[in-house]
Amino acid sequence: MRAGGLRVCIHRWTSDELEESRMRPLWNSSLYVVAGFLVVGAPALVSGQVADPDATRFENAMATFARYDAKNSFPADATVFVGSSSIVGWDTGDRFPGMPLINRGFGGSQMSDLVHYVEETVLRYTPRTVVVYEGDNDTSAGKRSQQLLEDYQEFVEAVLTAQPSTRVVILSIKPSLARWNVWPEMQASNAAIEAYSQTDARVDFVDVGTAMLGVDGLPRPELFVGDGLHMTPAGYDVWDEIVMEALMPGGMHARHMAGQGVGH
């Protein structure tokens, strides 16, 4: 169902940009597509849930991924980074050197969009690990924690049903200057998703938000660009340290599995 009040922000790739992406090492394939349709004031359904935006608005983005994939190969057992604009803006190739990875962020997306395109963005690569960031746009559009949790569950179950040995790393919804008014709901969603992650040793929840708050408990301004939403390199520096620790052997995942009595 198409939600009303759409504001379009589209980045059109130039031939030079696409050629540059094709020249990157195949073990570190990072093609980003920003096809952001930010949903503002989406209408509520009778059930109290907010209507999902029309996922087909990302068909061009998926077609761009497919064209790139047709001309390139990808590493086995890669880590796929997927999600909204915070993933798009993350220069994962440079920030995680030596790690076989694929970046399939598409800006403006919600978790319902990722569920819709799980095959195109995740499953086709048969990844060892999936790092996912969604929920920012969902909460801004009015979705409450239960609705977002259900979308996360659908995504995780789709991944683990198709590829049972894959690990899913969920990044918490970040606080920001622009969306501070909905931070309490984001916290509720984070708590619900973290609790869900504890039910399966293959799923980890990584808190990237606490370190983005200052001693006053407010978002640190230096971590955000002028719109107060998207992150500066300093913001990604914070994420790099946290996520790298979570992905390394002996990091968060090993402790999670040990706590559930699961051997390596």
- Answer yes or no: is 160 within a domain: yes
* Least confident span in 14-28, 65-79, 103-117, 170-184: 14-28
With respect to residue 1, please indicate whether it lies within any of the assigned structural domains. no
What is the band of 145 on the pLDDT scale with cuts at 50, 70, 90?
Answer: very high
- Assign residue 184 the CATH number of its domain: 3.40.50.1110
Residue 37 lies in a domain: yes
Measure CA 97 to chain center.
20
pLDDT digits (tens, 9 = 90+) for 55-104: 999 999 999 999 999 999 888 899 999 999 999 999 999 999 999 999 99
- What percentage of the chain reaches a pLDDT higher than 70? 77
Give the mean model confidence (pLDDT) for residues 98-126: 97
Range of the domain at 25: 6-259
Q: How far apart are CA 4 and CA 51, in angstroms?
A: 9
pLDDT of residue 88: 97
- How is the beta sheet containing 167-171 ordered, strand by strand? 28-30, 101-105, 79-83, 129-133, 167-171, 203-206
Structure tokens at 146: 């239960």
Structure confidence at residue 250 as a pLDDT band (50, 70, 90): low
List beta partners, residue 171: 206
- Cβ 228 vs Cβ 190: under 8 Å: no
Single pTM value for the model: 0.80
d(CA 36, CA 98): 30
Q: What is the mean pLDDT of residues 125-136?
A: 98
Does position 44 have pLDDT exceeding 60, yes or no?
Answer: no
Confidence at residue 92, expressed as pLDDT on a 0 to 100 scale: 96
Evaluate whether residue 264 is within a structural domain: no
**Count of domains for the chain:** 1
Confidence of residue 252 (pLDDT cuts 50, 70, 90): low
* Structure confidence at residue 249 (pLDDT): 77
218 lies in some domain: yes
Please tell me which residue, 218 or 11, carries the higher pLDDT value. 218
Span 178-186, average pLDDT: 98
Cα(128)–Cα(168) distance, integer angstroms: 9
pLDDT given at position 8:
31
- Segment 123-152 shows an average pLDDT of 98
Does the pLDDT of residue 18 top 70, yes or no? no
pLDDT at 264 over 80: no
Residue 197 forms part of a structural domain: yes
Distance CA 105, CA 85 (A): 7
The average pLDDT across 221-240 equals 99
